[in-house]
Structure 1
Amino acid sequence: MDARQTWSSQLTYILAVAGATVGFGATWRFPYLVGQNGGGAYVLTFCIAMIVIGIPMILVENAIGRRLHINSVDAFGGMANGKKINKAWKIVGWMGLCGAFGIMAYYMVIGGWVLNYIYNIIFGNLNLTSVVSADLTASFYDKSIINAPFAISIATLVFVIINFVILVRGAVAGIEKAAKYLMPILFLLMIGMVIRNLTLDGALEGIKFYLTPDFSKISAKLFIDVLGQVFFALSLGFGVMITLSSFVRKDENLVKTSVITGVLNTLIAVVAGFMIFPSLFTFGVAPDSGPSLVFKSLPIVFSHMFAGEFLAVAFFSLLMIAALTTSLPIYEVLITVLEEKFKIKRLKAIFITLGGIFILGNIPSLMATNLLSDVTVFGKNIFDAYDAISATIFFVLTSLLCAIFVGWVLGDEAKKEILFGSNGAHKIINIWFFYIKYIIPFLILVVFVSSFYDNFIK
Structure 2
Amino acid sequence: MNRYTWSSSLAYILTTAGATIGFGATWRFPYSVGVNGGGAYVLTFIIAMFLLGIPMILVENVIGRRAHKNSVDAFSATYQNKNFSKYWKIVGIMGLIGCFGIIAYYMVLGGYVITYIWNILIGNLDLSTPITQAITKEFYDVNIKHSPFHITIYTLIFIFLNWIVLVRGISNGIEASMKFLMPLLFIFLIAIVIRNVTLPGAMEGVKFYLIPNFSKITPQLFIEVLGQVFFALSLGFGVMITLSSYLNKQENLIKTSVITAIINTIIALLAGFMIFPSLFSFGLSPDSGPPLVFEVLPIVFSHMHFGSIIAWAFFTLLLIAAFTTSVTLYEVLVTATQEKLNLSRIASVTLVLALTFIAGNIPSIMAYGPWSNIKILDRNIFDAFDFISANIFFVLTGLGSAIFVGWVLGDDAKDELGNGVKNKNIINIWFNYVKFIIPIIIFVVFIYGLKDVFIK
Deviation at 1:259, TM superposition (A): 0.6
Partner of 2:40: 41
Deviation at 1:81, TM superposition (A): 6.0
Q: Contact conserved, 1:80 with 1:409, CA < 8 A, in 2? A: no
**Greater shift in the superposed pair: 442-451 or 170-179:** 170-179
- Give per-residue Cα distances to partners, 1:205-262, cap 9 Å, x unaligned: 1011111111222334422331121011100001000000000011110010011111
Q: Contact conserved, 1:69 with 1:247, CA < 8 A, in 2? A: yes
Partner of 1:160: 159
Give, in whole Å, the separation in 1 of the partners of 2:33 and 2:386. 18
> Given residue 312 of structure 1, which amino acid in structure 2 is its aligned partner?
A
Give, in whole Å, the separation in 1 of the partners of 2:370 and 2:224. 30
Q: How many residues align?
A: 456
> Given residue 439 of structure 1, which amino acid in structure 2 is its aligned partner?
I
Deviation at 1:84, TM superposition (A): 1.3
Deviation at 1:121, TM superposition (A): 0.6
> Given residue 371 of structure 2, which amino acid in structure 1 is its aligned partner?
L
Q: Contact conserved, 1:210 with 1:277, CA < 8 A, in 2? A: yes
Partner of 2:279: 280
Partner of 2:401: 402
**Greater shift in the superposed pair: 75-84 or 15-24:** 75-84
Give, in whole Å, the separation in 2 of the partners of 1:358 and 1:110. 13
Give, in whole Å, the separation in 2 of the partners of 1:74 and 1:335. 14
- Give per-residue Cα distances to partners, 1:77-119, cap 9 Å, x unaligned: 1235643111100000000000100000000000000000000
Partner of 2:197: 198
Q: Contact conserved, 1:62 with 1:242, CA < 8 A, in 2? A: yes
- Give per-residue Cα distances to partners, 1:155-194, cap 9 Å, x unaligned: 0000000000000101343110111000000001100011
Q: Contact conserved, 1:33 with 1:225, CA < 8 A, in 2? A: no
**What is the DSSP-based 3-state SS (H/G/I as helix, E as strand, rest coil) of the residue aligned with 2:4?**
coil
Give, in whole Å, the separation in 2 of the partners of 1:38 and 1:198. 19
> Given residue 252 of structure 2, which amino acid in structure 1 is its aligned partner?
N
TM-score (norm 2): 0.98
TM-score (norm 1): 0.98
Q: Does structure 1 residue 147 correspond to structure 2 residue 153?
A: no
Partner of 2:418: 419
Partner of 2:441: 443
Note the 1:151-190 alignment, pairs <5 A: 151-190=150-189
Give, in whole Å, the separation in 1 of the partners of 2:3 and 2:201. 53
- Stretches of structure 1 that go unaligned for 5 or more consecutive residues are none
- Stretches of structure 2 that go unaligned for 5 or more consecutive residues are none
Deviation at 1:455, TM superposition (A): 4.6
Note the 1:344-359 alignment, pairs <5 A: 344-359=343-358
Partner of 2:231: 232
Q: 1:143 to 1:221 in 2, by over 3 A?
A: farther
Give, in whole Å, the separation in 1 of the partners of 2:453 and 2:309. 39
Give, in whole Å, the separation in 2 of the partners of 1:392 and 1:361. 18
Partner of 1:430: 428
RMSD over equivalenced CA pairs, Å? 1.0
Q: 1:185 to 1:282 in 2, by over 3 A?
A: same
Give, in whole Å, the separation in 1 of the partners of 2:335 and 2:201. 49
Identical aligned residues as a percent: 62
Moved over 4 A (4+): none
Give, in whole Å, the separation in 1 of the partners of 2:424 and 2:413. 12
Partner of 1:135: 134
**What is the DSSP-based 3-state SS (H/G/I as helix, E as strand, rest coil) of the residue aligned with 2:290?**
helix
Q: Does structure 1 residue 208 correspond to structure 2 residue 207?
A: yes
Q: Contact conserved, 2:67 with 2:79, CA < 8 A, in 1? A: no
Note the 1:20-31 alignment, pairs <5 A: 20-31=19-30
> Given residue 269 of structure 1, which amino acid in structure 2 is its aligned partner?
A
Note the 1:30-429 alignment, pairs <5 A: 30-80=29-79, 82-422=81-421, 424-429=422-427
**What is the DSSP-based 3-state SS (H/G/I as helix, E as strand, rest coil) of the residue aligned with 1:291?**
coil
Q: Contact conserved, 1:81 with 1:412, CA < 8 A, in 2? A: no
Q: Contact conserved, 1:21 with 1:235, CA < 8 A, in 2? A: yes
Q: Contact conserved, 1:99 with 1:238, CA < 8 A, in 2? A: yes
> Given residue 314 of structure 1, which amino acid in structure 2 is its aligned partner?
A
> Given residue 443 of structure 1, which amino acid in structure 2 is its aligned partner?
I
Give, in whole Å, the separation in 2 of the partners of 1:15 and 1:388. 28
